[in-house]
Amino acid sequence: MLLPKALQEGDTVGIIAPASPPEMKCLQDALPFFKNLGLNVKLGKHIREVYGYLAGTDEKRLEDFHDMMVDESIKAIIFARGGYGTGRIVADINYDLVRNNPKIIWGYSDITYLHTAIRQKTGLVTFHGPMVASDIADPDFDVLTASSFQQLFSPTTLQYNGDASCLHVLVEGESAGTLVGGNLSLLVNTLGTEFEINTEGKILLIEDIDEPPYRVDALLNQLKLAGKLASTAGIVVGDFANAKPKKEPSLTLDEIFNHYLGDLTCPVMSGFKIGHCFPHFAVPLGVRAILNTKEKTFTVMPGVQAK
């Protein structure tokens, strides 16, 4: 495990788009948020690029990532948005560069592919959290979601309990392990590649958006058949936004979760506000986490080291 250093007032964060292009007005509207945190902002050279559904060509998006990694003035990289595209560049990332220049890396959704690749190639802890143009600029961006950025300024142990949302126990128990995961469809996309998600003995976080129940069923079935569910130490089910059936009749999400997760031997809880939702509880990936269904708590160790 490689912990990045905490931020301090006056530091500069870099903003790039490694997947789909951000709405630039939304991005600009979100920048005062960082000023209010006492941070400076530097935008990636190619952040305004548009190449179909991508924020510029693979080469330009990769260049922005590498530039931010080697820039000693940049203390954190926070992504503008997700969408699609990080899977296209992970094979060409210079992971020695990442390992030798550890810094905060923050985002979610399509960024899940990048989180998984970086953690498994370098051991660097990264953060599953709300992004600039797609979240901070959203009118529903709330105080609780905003407060999640405070964990970047000092080592902070996070605890999620029933105060934030109603939690549901699918399988009772208590376990600890390294927290991994993120967007369910992106986790499935890693299977069969050199970046295949390792869930053995890990606490697995899953969340998604706009996937109807039958698709969630198919994605969990693929993880099951790949041996990724039975090997976990625990499963945290985050938010599945807009998971509406395209046709009736349909199984409910609860029925699907119970089918695939309800007979596991590790603790499983659902209902966490982690994912494409507000509030959005941001967490570091790659650190030790504890899932306790009796107390209905999810405890996550700090994702940064003191500067």
Beta strands across the sheet bearing 174-183: 158-160, 297-300, 288-292, 174-183, 203-209, 234-241, 268-270, 168-171
> Could you tell me if 150 and 39 are in contact, meaning their C-beta atoms sit under 8 angstroms apart?
no
CA distance 136 to 79: 11
Single out the catalytic residue among 20, 109, 148, 175: 109
Q: Is 126 helix (H, G, I), strand (E, B) or coil?
A: strand
> CA distances (Å), 157 to each of 83, 104, 124, 129, 152, in order?
30, 16, 18, 16, 11
Main-chain dihedrals φ then ψ at residue 42, nearest 5 degrees: -125, 125
- Show the tokens assigned to 247: 């046709």
Angle CA 257–20–209, to nearest 5: 15
Active site residue 109: yes
Single out the catalytic residue among 46, 115, 128, 276: 276
Single out the catalytic residue among 207, 211, 270, 280: 207
Angle CA 266–271–275, to nearest 5: 105
Active site residue 207: yes
Catalytically active residues, by annotation? 109, 207, 276
